[in-house]
Amino acid sequence: YSALGLGEPTGIEIGEKTGRQATNEGGSNQAPWAAYGQADQLYTPLQLANYIATLVSGGQHCPAHLLKSVKSYDNSEIIATGDTTPLNTLNISDSTLQAVKKGMYGYTQPGGMVYSYFKDCIVSAGAKTGTAQLGGGLKNNGVFVAFAPYDDPEIAIALVLEKGDAGAALASTAVTILNSYFSRESTGSVLSDNELIP
């Protein structure tokens, strides 16, 4: 889990909660339960997005940053850029990574659980739903992760809906985000340097 950044600091420039990995108290083996999301673990949406980005990038686990670059006051030179050096590379076979990626892709294709939403996605994508169980009679949180495009991933997203019960409720939101992201250049909605948001 640490190699994937789960339960660890992401490197983001603002304060964050690191959550926690599943613990093996009393000598119990929580790994099988953790794989199904049943163990005592907490992860942030940013950690989940970074986890998906790590998987679909071929195992390159990079820090998360808000900062792309720092420019001089007159915008004439770049003074600093965000560090994109990988923190580590997963020791996992390419065939295993491709199997995970292909499984997530199947989720969005005909016969897949969220195909009814992803049939309207303008790029091929992979996704996975999840349910964050809270216990104690509380309504569960819905979790949804996705990446796109399938062949050459450029974006990974993670969505959480408190008391949403199931992650499938977030599939339409994920499609809206992906469609907005991949249509931004054709619609001219990206701001240029020195342009203020209306």
Give me the percent of the chain exceeding a pLDDT of 90: 37
Domain 1-92 - what CATH class?
alpha beta
Within the chain, all domains assigned CATH 3.40.710.10 are found at: 1-92
Q: What is the pTM of this model?
A: 0.80
C-alpha angle 111/50/104, rounded to 5°?
Answer: 10
For 12-29, the pLDDT digits (tens) are 888 888 877 777 676 667
Count of all residues that appear for the chain in the document: 198
Rounded CA gap, 38 and 26, in Å? 17
Instruction: Please check the confidence at residue 82 and state whether its pLDDT lies above 80.
Output: no
Select from 135, 131, 192 the least CA-distant residue to 165: 131
Work out the number of other CB atoms within 10 angstroms of the CB of residue 180.
Answer: 12
Backbone phi and psi for residue 85, each to the nearest 5 degrees, phi listed first = -65, 130
Residue-wise pLDDT for 114-168, tens only, equals: 999 999 999 999 999 988 777 788 888 889 999 999 999 999 999 999 887 788 8
Q: What is the CA radius of gyration of the chain?
A: 18
In this prediction, residue 195 carries a pLDDT of: 64
The answer, yes or no, to whether the previous bond of 149 is cis (omega within 30 of 0) is yes
3-state secondary structure of 129: strand
Query: Nearest CA to 173 among 139, 144, 150?
Result: 144
pLDDT in tens, 56-71: 988 898 888 887 778 8
